[in-house]
Structure 1
């Protein structure tokens, strides 16, 4: 019996012996390890000399490379201006901006100070030339619409960080393989999108919008840092040989300087990742709060929430704010706003955020037209044609005109009432909000005072007559007139 336990069955499995089971398990793990090593290991198929030579060859910026860069800038600028994704992709494919960035990562990983110096110099020249060329194009070009392709490059988030980092990894791995994978290089050029943000910087400077320029430069910086960081890490993992210097003192100095520069690059990369990640969480919670609490609220009458005018401001470590815009003839009750503030505090990232409520004016039509104009400025970046812009404007103006038509022109009404009713000594006006606990209603109420000495019968008669006239004049059957005692 015991001998049978030590033997394996006909299929080759252990028959319950603990030592045999452990040995089989180790063999299984070993087989999985070998499989994964063969699947994921890239060192055996890496050509270090050819990879280093190809990266260094792409660093110089002169002659043909300079003209290719200028052409790609113009193509990208035209594509962004025309809101053409295909044209923008074409500009990214021919842009030579990636070369110096890979050179920086390679030089830091191998302590090659000369390559680092050349990479930084060429990279700086490329960036300045790109921004200047894009600035000239947008400054003199007569059509400068704020297309969605342009505005998409002004507000980076956590996804841009991940795209830049993993795009950089894919690029260096493809360059390191014996027989470079060209399709990967083209794909990374499209995904990381170095050229469009620089063109957007030039656009922002050309129209005087420094917010666009700084946002786009922030996106470009993110792409640059994380592509360089990915290059640095892959070169280290592949154990590229360090550059040796004959002078031992110079070798130590250069190694020290390369390490310091590498750390200086990684520190802002870490802070950038953290900051962008926190902003992404903040905006996610803000949108959840709005979707769960603001949008379901039913405003009375013609009132509505203007989602397109919502402003979510992240203050990068400080208290931000959420601005909500409502239009309508009736104000949102204070208890509802207080409830929203309480609900807001249930979200961790929103506890110290100020909730701003902007409501349409009851009496000033100019405020309503201001909001229509703001809506147009916000919506036009999302529209694809001028016909759509005109249609949106018509719809919003129609809605605002309907709200404006319900307003009481009190100054005109009071002058007409004084002319028609000689016994009228004082006229007041206010809105009264009433409810039957199922819905809210707004009633226009006029308060009148009649001259002293007028009989009660005459006052009642004139009050009824004034009520009928106001309802007919203002085309509102809800109007009420109340007599105030002197």
Structure 2
């Protein structure tokens, strides 16, 4: 009796799990195939949307604005040809594969060319963190691309399409930023940026296409029908070869990126362990997976040759032989001491230059002050105001005060400086006599000082 109950419980659980994870019952195969075929083409409005989204993404990368980059990815039509390649492999449709490859090439060339033009403008050539982040792929990018591709094709195969899922996959797989970064690398001649970005884009492309192929075959989408059986067999063979040509490099890329990430993680763990045990500070860690070379600088207690040999032995036990540790010590190491001396010398030189520049600036300030004083003295000597005022007083006894100033006048087409004398007369001197005396003095001053611009005015 208990056995029967256990069997029933297992059957119920199995049925419940199948209902949760089953994707075949809600699949619309014909509609999915047609939707993907319709989305393969990059022309007309789609081409312009692609260009505009590339420009937006390039601007976002240039300003390190994640929000702008995400916005560009939401409107980008990059997924269409890649899904078309995966579907064509899954249903043996050579015509669809040809169209998908052609439109994929158009998409890549158009995207890189657009970003190349944007980053060719000198003011947009700064190396930002968002650009750098798209040049160093690791195993997580493979997982994201594979999971994103699986999520996308599963969502597309439903009877009720999920646009939110498609948009989310577009953001997660990030096809557009690597293409923009590749254009940046071409525009600036930074080939490491171009190579890393193209590699990341290739990873995303291959694994999205591969995941589409896997789900299409899992759901048993119908193969493309061909009237000629010989042609069907030939196409099937071509498609199989092409599928293998994609899947094998995919596995190889995944393995390499996994090993690189694993190697970096193990080195990081080892260094953290050494820092805790030895009580030292480790800086500038540089890990090279291809050559198995690890470089870092040590501040504090020096590491012995035995310590370094133990590092190499620990890495060997973790599966990585012939690792080469290059350690820069802060004591007893000529290279480190030279580096410190170089930094100190540079610092002292800069300090000396600053002191020298400050002394020069002070000397210039003194010279400017002296020149200003000389200029004032020269102006006073060139224009003997007191002597002229005394002469004016001798010519007209009724004058009680004389003022002098230069007035600046403009008629908005030219500007001129006018010498102005103001004459104050004693009380009781009538207006008519003031006017006549003022005119006489003006003519006399113009003749004496040889300047027809001089104006003499009576003051109130």
TM-score normalized by the length of structure 2: 0.70
Whole-angstrom CA distance in 1 between matches of 2:335 and 2:148: 55
Q: Structure 1 residues 182 and 351 mapped into 2: Cα distance closer, same or farther (>3 Å)?
A: same
35-44 or 187-196: bigger deviation: 35-44
Name the residue aligned to 1:446: none
Shift of residue 209, structure 1, vs aligned partner: 1.7
Matched, 1:356 2:326: yes
Shift of residue 31, structure 1, vs aligned partner: 1.4
Shift of residue 216, structure 1, vs aligned partner: 1.2
Equivalent position to 2:91, from 97, 110, 116:
110
Q: Structure 1 residues 208 and 26 mapped into 2: Cα distance closer, same or farther (>3 Å)?
A: same
Q: Structure 1 residues 293 and 178 mapped into 2: Cα distance closer, same or farther (>3 Å)?
A: same
Whole-angstrom CA distance in 1 between matches of 2:304 and 2:195: 38
In terms of fraction of residues, the more helix-rich structure is: 2
Equivalent position to 1:322, from 285, 288, 294:
294
Q: Secondary structure at the match of 1:142?
A: helix
Q: Structure 1 residues 369 and 125 mapped into 2: Cα distance closer, same or farther (>3 Å)?
A: farther
Deviation digits for residues 161-189 of structure 1 (CA, Å, limit 9, x no counterpart): 11100111110111111120111111000
1:361-440 pair list within 5 angstroms: 367-368=339-340, 401=347
Q: Structure 1 residues 49 and 358 mapped into 2: Cα distance closer, same or farther (>3 Å)?
A: same
Deviation digits for residues 279-312 of structure 1 (CA, Å, limit 9, x no counterpart): 011000111122111576456xxxx64x2x3211
Deviation digits for residues 196-255 of structure 1 (CA, Å, limit 9, x no counterpart): 011111112222221121111111111111111110011111111100101110010011
359-368 or 171-180: bigger deviation: 359-368
Name the residue aligned to 1:143: 124
Deviation digits for residues 403-441 of structure 1 (CA, Å, limit 9, x no counterpart): 999xxxxxxxxxxxxxxxxxxxxxxxxxxxxxxxxxxxx
Name the residue aligned to 1:58: 39
Equivalent position to 1:341, from 302, 309, 312:
309
Whole-angstrom CA distance in 1 between matches of 2:72 and 2:334: 51
Equivalent position to 1:310, from 279, 285, 288:
285
Q: Secondary structure at the match of 1:146?
A: coil
1:85-484 pair list within 5 angstroms: 85-294=66-275, 297=278, 305=282, 307=283, 309-315=284-290, 319-326=291-298, 336-347=304-315, 348-358=318-328, 367-368=339-340, 401=347
Deviation digits for residues 63-116 of structure 1 (CA, Å, limit 9, x no counterpart): 111111111111111100100000010111111110000000100000000000
Name the residue aligned to 1:378: none
Q: Structure 1 residues 194 and 171 mapped into 2: Cα distance closer, same or farther (>3 Å)?
A: same
Structure 2, unpaired ranges of 5+: 352-460
Deviation digits for residues 428-485 of structure 1 (CA, Å, limit 9, x no counterpart): xxxxxxxxxxxxxxxxxxxxxxxxxxxxxxxxxxxxxxxxxxxxxxxxxxxxxxxxxx
Whole-angstrom CA distance in 2 between matches of 1:356 and 1:137: 41
Q: Secondary structure at the match of 1:322?
A: strand
Query: Is the Cα contact below 8 Å between 2:328 and 2:335 reproduced in 1?
Result: no
Query: Is the Cα contact below 8 Å between 1:285 and 1:350 reproduced in 2?
Result: no
170-179 or 346-355: bigger deviation: 346-355
Q: Structure 1 residues 341 and 139 mapped into 2: Cα distance closer, same or farther (>3 Å)?
A: farther
Whole-angstrom CA distance in 2 between matches of 1:169 and 1:363: 52
